[in-house]
Amino acid sequence: MPYITVGQENGANIDIYYKDWGSGQLVVFSHGWPLSGDAFEDQMFFLAQHGYRCIAHDRRGHVRSSQPLATKIGSPSSKANSIKTSPRRQSRLVYAHP
Query: What is the distance between the alpha carbons of residues 75 and 19, in angstroms, rounded to a whole number?
Result: 22
pTM (global) more than 0.85: no
pLDDT in tens, 1-54: 698 888 888 888 888 889 999 999 999 988 777 777 778 899 999 999 999 999
In 1-98, alpha helices (H): 41-49, 76-84
pLDDT in tens, 44-81: 999 999 999 999 988 776 667 667 775 455 555 555 55
Residues 80 and 74 sit within 8 Å (Cβ to Cβ):
no
- Going 57 to 83 to 31 to 98, the CA torsion angle's sign is negative
Residues 6 or more apart in contact with residue 73 via CB below 8 angstroms: 33, 59, 60, 61, 62
Looking at domain 3-96, its CATH superfamily turns out to be: Alpha/Beta hydrolase fold, catalytic domain (3.40.50.1820)
